[in-house]
């Protein structure tokens, strides 16, 4: 993936994840307050110490049918978002060559396996493959809790 395509993919992954995160916020607010309260979301759920991991755990308490498969997919989307948001720019790495020769290659290392490079094409395709299913699932949960939307937008008070 070239630099321009990577930049566009980063933006798309992050924007789509913001939508997913907002939907989770709406579910949590709808469950506990019986409405989507912008004050609750801004004061509590947007607090810098209220992590996405905590939100995902709360979903497990709210949704009786929240199976491990769905949890794993949401966790994977979060992991991919983090890779797009935090990994880069490419680093120059020395390559062993003949004595006196300096060879370098440019790559973005995988933080979990630094000797390997991240494959942003594969990560992007994986994200785009999983995200619609999870958005559809969480949208149904939100509606089942009594949540309202207009043209796909969440209505809040």
Confidence band, pLDDT 50/70/90 cuts, at residue 1: confident
Rounded to whole angstroms, how far apart are CA atoms 135 and 141?
10
- Chain centroid to CA 47: 17
Q: Supply the pTM of this predicted model.
A: 0.83
pLDDT higher than 70, residue 101: no
Give the mean pLDDT of the chain: 86
Band of the pLDDT at 148, cuts 50, 70, 90? confident
Q: Is the pLDDT of residue 97 over 80?
A: no
């Amino acid at each position: 993936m070239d630099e321009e395509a990577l930049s566009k993919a980063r933006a798309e992954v992050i924007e789509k994840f913001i939508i997913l995160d907002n939907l989770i916020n709406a579910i949590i607010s709808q469950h506990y307050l019986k409405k989507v309260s912008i004050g609750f979301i801004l004061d509590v759920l947007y607090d810098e110490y209220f992590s996405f991991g905590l939100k995902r755990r709360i979903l497990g308490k709210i949704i009786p049918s929240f199976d491990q498969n769905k949890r794993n997919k949401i966790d994977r989307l979060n992991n991919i978002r983090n890779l797009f948001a935090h990994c880069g720019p490419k680093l120059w790495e020395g390559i062993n060559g003949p004595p006196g020769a300096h060879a370098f290659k440019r790559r973005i290392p995988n933080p979990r396996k630094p000797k390997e490079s991240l494959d942003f094409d594969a990560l992007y395709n994986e994200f785009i493959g999983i995200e619609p299913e999870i958005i559809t699932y969480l949208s149904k949960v939100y509606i089942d809790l009594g949540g309202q939307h207009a043209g796909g937008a969440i209505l809040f008070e």
